[in-house]
Amino acid sequence: MKYPLLTVVALSSALCLIGANRAEAGGHGIRADLPCPFGSGGSPGPSAAWVLASGASPFNPGAPTANTATLSAVLSNLPGSSDEAGLIVTAATQYDWYTNPIPAVSTCTDTPNATGPIEQVINYTLAGGTFGLAAGDTEVEFNYDASLNNATGTASFVMGGVTYTSSGTTLPTSTTFENDFVFNASGALVGGIVVDPISAVASFKTGVPTGWIASGGTVSAPEIDPTSAIAALTLLAGGLAVLRAGRRTLLPVR
């Protein structure tokens, strides 16, 4: 997904991905890919949890191929309805890039060893709660196949008028990158999610994820509390009154 050296995630996350390929790339492995690679149907499971959707990806994973697919989550068939860090989601869309032509559903077999995507971006709408996140927050995670480790390329996307670009000249698959972003409903960056490589425990980190650069856009001015504003004006008026009193010249008594 996104996390340095991540090889195992929490049990609840694993349940979401039963039967799915998990190709690791320096900790940033493909998540929720479908072994068909998608769309074979059948009983609830990986292939029934995601369906082919329309629309191009707003994210650039770094080295897109001509073979792309947009998938939408079927939450009723996604056990736990959570992301790989165990966060509860209300909607999810994944964008996949394949090196080979994607087989048609009619010729696709539901085998766990089928070729999956080499690059992937998943966009989750969160239910909030964990880490103090609010309902409606958005999680964006970049995932890579192990074969792309050290591959040349630059990943990028725009959110809330700000451009986020991976630093360096190679794809953000090394352990120095944190490829998981969280934004509020207005598109402002809240921070990112990091999973410990040993314990697989997820934690929240503020600021731009390591290995990425933010540019452009504007920083919103902090909101002013009405009560604080009134107090400040009262203090200012009092100060001006003191200054005016200090400038008075006493006239002699006649």
Domain borders along the chain are 11-215
In the prediction, which pLDDT does 99 show? 86
In the prediction, which pLDDT does 166 show? 96
What spatial distance separates the first Cα and last Cα of the chain, rounded to whole Å?
89
- The per-residue pLDDT of the chain, averaged, comes to 73
Give the residue with greater pLDDT, 237 vs 137: 137
DSSP state of 89: E
Identify any residues that bridge with 212 across adjacent strands, giving them in sequence order: 166
In the prediction, which pLDDT does 36 show? 63
pLDDT at 62 over 60: yes
Closest by CA position to 206, among listed 233, 230, 228, 178: 178
Match 């736990």 to its residue by tokens. Answer: 80
Q: Among the listed ranges 115-124, 182-191, 192-201, which one has the minimum average pLDDT value? A: 192-201
Q: Among the listed ranges 13-27, 123-137, 227-241, which one has the minimum average pLDDT value? A: 13-27
pLDDT tens digits, 112-160? 555 678 899 999 999 987 888 999 999 999 999 888 888 999 999 999 9
253 Rama sector, left if φ>0, alpha if ψ -120 to 50, beta otherwise: beta
Q: Cα 15 from chain centroid?
A: 20
Token output for 148: 């792309």
In the prediction, which pLDDT does 117 show? 84
pLDDT at 198 over 60: yes
**Predicted TM-score (pTM) above 0.85:** no
Angstrom distances, CA of residue 27 to CA of 1, 146, 193, 245 = 7, 9, 13, 69
- When pLDDT is averaged across residues 53-71 and rounded to a whole number, the result is 91
Closest by CA position to 55, among listed 90, 95, 99: 95
R_g of the chain computed on alpha carbons: 25
Closest by CA position to 124, among listed 174, 59, 66: 59
The share of the chain scoring above pLDDT 70, in percent, equals: 61
Angstrom distances, CA of residue 1 to CA of 68, 151, 174, 189, 203 = 18, 17, 12, 19, 14
pLDDT at 69 over 70: yes
